[in-house]
Structure 1
Amino acid sequence: MLTSQDDIIELIEADEWMMQILHTAKILALPDWWICAGFIRAKVWDTLHQFTKRTPLPDIDVIYFDPTATDERQEKIYEKQLHKLHKGVPWSVKNEARMHRLHQFPPYTSSVDAISKFPETATAIGVKLDAENNLILAAPHGVTDLLQLHLKPTPFFSSTTERLDIYRSRLSKKNWQLTWNNITVSLIFKTLHATVKN
């Protein structure tokens, strides 16, 4: 039974494949790096749905924050390096110091700030290894929605009609309920819990 952030950390630590992915990403030593979104969300939802096989991921989202080098070509170089280190993994590398430009959002101040402004609270989560290889989880909006299988927009995405439209479009495109049928969906955000825990 998953009921807390510590449970999620233990779940990931017990998953050999996920830990291999994290150790591979750490090799690049990217500034303010995290693996985020579906990498964690799918593992939690698979577990809560008692799936015996891992749901395939369209990509492994590695993010970092480097305002000194925001050329997209650098991200592709990092992706190639990761593919050489761990073949067969759908690596996706993004520098959050430039990603705000895609939707003309205000600049992010860090990777965790960017994570806090992901569309869904259940997706707004990241994990990485520290210098001692301890697992660190960043959950700017807490883990309650993730653990309760509740999809709702983050405060950032519920603050304007345009962003809510993006959120709704993602719900339709991703169709997560087809894979995880116990999910509930909401169009409003109610609570905020800021968490970064070792």
Structure 2
Amino acid sequence: MTPDLRSQLPLDEQVAALRDALSQNPTLVTVLERTAALDLPGWYVTAGAVFQTVWNVVCDRPADAGIRDYDVFYHDASDLSWEAEDVVVRRAAEVFDDLGVEVEVRNEARVHLWYEARFGVACPPFRSSEDAIDHFAATTCCVGLRLGADGGWQVYAPHGLGDVFGMVVRPNPVLAPRHVYDEKTARWAREWPRLRVLPWPEHA
């Protein structure tokens, strides 16, 4: 398989290529624009809808193929109650209602309150949305984007974008247990057969 040449570009050119790729998914662009209007603290559109749109473009598939939902992170530690988060979730549901896709909005300041019950390992409180993105099960997934005050795209990608364009899934054993990585990558490999999934390190 010939690697996508965008995986070898300098980072600033990769960011431009990322915007070009993501712009081919009009639903993602609409989610980005409407989330900006919600004015949530520390928000990002992140997770599968971002890197999977890139995979679809690289594979010459429809830009939204195989994308289950659109994730929005924000971080508000001023009130950690579910009731406060639910107010935001309900407001967002109204904003995205006509899109015909699931948009999941979550306060990352609250994740430590429910993570262990769901995944079986304790989670430290996230200090920011960036901190939450840093803890995805694969480094390839650690990409978020939002609109700045000037309307420009801001990209958070602590591990770069080479693996995203290169369709390499690299484990990130800092929080999520191995079975989470294995389950996610098994589904992704069925949907995007060109992926090269690297194994979970045995020492993790």
Common fold by TM > 0.5: yes
User: Is 1:2–2:6 an aligned residue pair?
Assistant: yes
How many angstroms apart in 2 are the aligned matches of 1:33 and 1:98? 14
Q: Which residue of 1 aligns with 2:133?
A: 115
User: Is 1:183–2:195 an aligned residue pair?
Assistant: yes
Structure 2 counterpart of 1:171, from 185, 188, 195: 185
Q: Which residue of 1 aligns with 2:123?
A: 105
C-alpha displacement at 1:140, in angstroms? Answer: 1.4
Q: Which residue of 2 aligns with 1:195?
A: none
User: Is 1:94–2:109 an aligned residue pair?
Assistant: no
Retained in 1: the 8 A contact 2:22–2:54? no
SS across alignment from 1:2: helix
Retained in 2: the 8 A contact 1:124–1:139? yes
Query: What is the TM-score with the length of structure 1 in the denominator?
Result: 0.83
Retained in 1: the 8 A contact 2:28–2:70? no
How many angstroms apart in 2 are the aligned matches of 1:59 and 1:75? 19
Could you list the runs of 5+ residues in structure 1 that have no partner in the other structure? 190-198
Structure 2 counterpart of 1:72, from 82, 91, 94: 82
SS across alignment from 2:139: coil
RMSD: 2.1
How many angstroms apart in 2 are the aligned matches of 1:7 and 1:53? 14
C-alpha displacement at 1:48, in angstroms? Answer: 0.7
Retained in 1: the 8 A contact 2:41–2:74? yes
What is the identity, as a one-letter code, of the residue corresponding to 2:33?
H
Retained in 1: the 8 A contact 2:24–2:63? no
C-alpha displacement at 1:74, in angstroms? Answer: 2.9
How many angstroms apart in 2 are the aligned matches of 1:170 and 1:56? 13
Retained in 2: the 8 A contact 1:115–1:126? yes
Structure 1 vs Structure 2: percent identity of aligned residues? 25
How many angstroms apart in 1 are the aligned matches of 2:146 and 2:73? 10
Could you list the runs of 5+ residues in structure 2 that have no partner in the other structure? 8-13, 117-121
How many angstroms apart in 2 are the aligned matches of 1:166 and 1:14? 29
SS across alignment from 1:86: helix
Query: What is the TM-score with the length of structure 2 in the denominator?
Result: 0.80
Retained in 2: the 8 A contact 1:121–1:146? no
Q: Which residue of 2 aligns with 1:52?
A: 62
Retained in 2: the 8 A contact 1:150–1:185? yes
Q: Which residue of 1 aligns with 2:44?
A: 34
Q: Which residue of 1 aligns with 2:174?
A: 156
How many angstroms apart in 2 are the aligned matches of 1:131 and 1:155? 34
How many angstroms apart in 2 are the aligned matches of 1:32 and 1:110? 7
